Amino acid sequence: MASLSEGDRITNMWTVLKKLGEGGCGTVFEVENNEDNCKYAMKVEPTSIRRRDQLLKTEAFILKKMQFSKYVPSYLAFDRTSDFRFLVMELLGNSLHDYIHSLPNKRVSVSTTLRVGLLALEAIIDMHKIFFVHRDIKPANFAFGLGDHSRRMYLIDFGMSRSILNPPDKLRKRRATGRVLFRGTTLYCSPNMHMKKEQGRHDDLWALLYMCTEMITGRLPWSRRGRPNAAVLKVGISGKELFQGCPKKFEVLLEYYRSLSYEDRPDYDGVKDIFKNCMKARQIDDDDPFDWELGHVNVSKHPIKQKAIHSSESIDSSSRTCDDIATGTDDSLSLEVSSR
C-alpha cells in the first residue's frame, strides 16, 4: 500500500492529516486542501499493483457518474503521482458497521433497521440507474455524513462494482458470464455468487436483505461457517427460519429475489413499498432517532396494524407479475419484474 505520513504534500494541493483506514480497495487518508483548508477523504492505490487488481479507476468513474445522487459522497478529484493513484472525495463520518458494533449485543431495532434499509435501497437504486451493480453490499460499505448530513447514509467503495452493459457506455446489456470469480463478502452475498454466477441487480437487493436481517437478529445462521457451508444454508433455509424476529414481509422479498435472474430488472417500487408499509404498520416515523442516537438499542415494540398491501404499478409494459410469490391475507404485495 502507499506509504504516506502526516504532513506529506501531494501535487502541492493536498496535505495528509492522518490515516483513516485500509482495506482491499486501497488506503484512505484524511487530507486538507491547501487552497480552501477544507478536509476531505483521499483513497490511494499504488501504481505498482497488477492491472487486474487496480480498482480505483473504476471507483472514480462510478463516483463521478453518480454525482446526481445524494446517496454518494461528493467527487473532488482523481489523479496520480509516479507512485500512486488517488481519489479525493467528501469526508464522511462513522460507517453503519461502526454504529452497529457500538450497540449492546450488536443488535438493531426493527425501527432503525427498516429506515436504514430504505436509505440503502435508495442508494442502490441510484447506482443501478447508471447500470452498475455494487457486488459488495454490507454495513461497512455504508457511511453517514457529518454535520447537517449526519442522518444521511452514503453508499461507498465501488471497487468491486461491475457494469451490466457492454461496453459500459453503450445501451447493450452484458451477457452473463458462465462462471465468475468470487466477488463480495461471504456473509452477505447471494447464493448466486457461491454458484459462480454473474451478479445482477437483484443480487445487491438480496445482500441488503441479509444485512437487514443480521441487524435485527444479531447474527446470520451461516456466520463463521465457511464459504461452502454458507452456500448450503443460504440455498436450503426457509424464510420462516431465517427471519425470526424480523418483519414477516422479509419472507416475501426472499422468495421474490429467488425468482429473479441476472437479466431481470427488479420491481424497485414494490420493494420500497414493502419497507414503507412495514414502517407504517409499526407507526415508525422517518425522523425517529436511530438506536445509536439514543445510546442504546430501542427495545420498545411498535404496535403492528397489519393491512393488506397492494402495489399494482408496473415498471415496464413487458413485465411479468409475481403474484404467486406474495400470498396470504397480509402479504399480498404484487411484485413485478422486467427484463429491461
E strands present in 58-148: 75-80, 84-90, 132-133, 142-144
Give the closest residue to 215 by CA, choosing from 126, 335, 115.
115
Find the radius of gyration of the CA atoms of the chain: 21
Instruction: Spot the catalytic one: 8, 53, 79, 136.
Output: 136
One-letter amino acid identity for 297?
A: V
Q: Are 84 and 49 contacting, i.e. CB atoms less than 8 angstroms apart?
A: no
79 is catalytic: no
Separation CA 31–CA 95 (nearest Å) = 19
Instruction: Read off φ and ψ for residue 299, nearest 5 degrees.
Output: -95, 0
Q: Are 125 and 268 contacting, i.e. CB atoms less than 8 angstroms apart?
A: yes
The H or E element containing residue 329 is: none
Q: Are 264 and 200 contacting, i.e. CB atoms less than 8 angstroms apart?
A: yes
Catalytic residues: 136
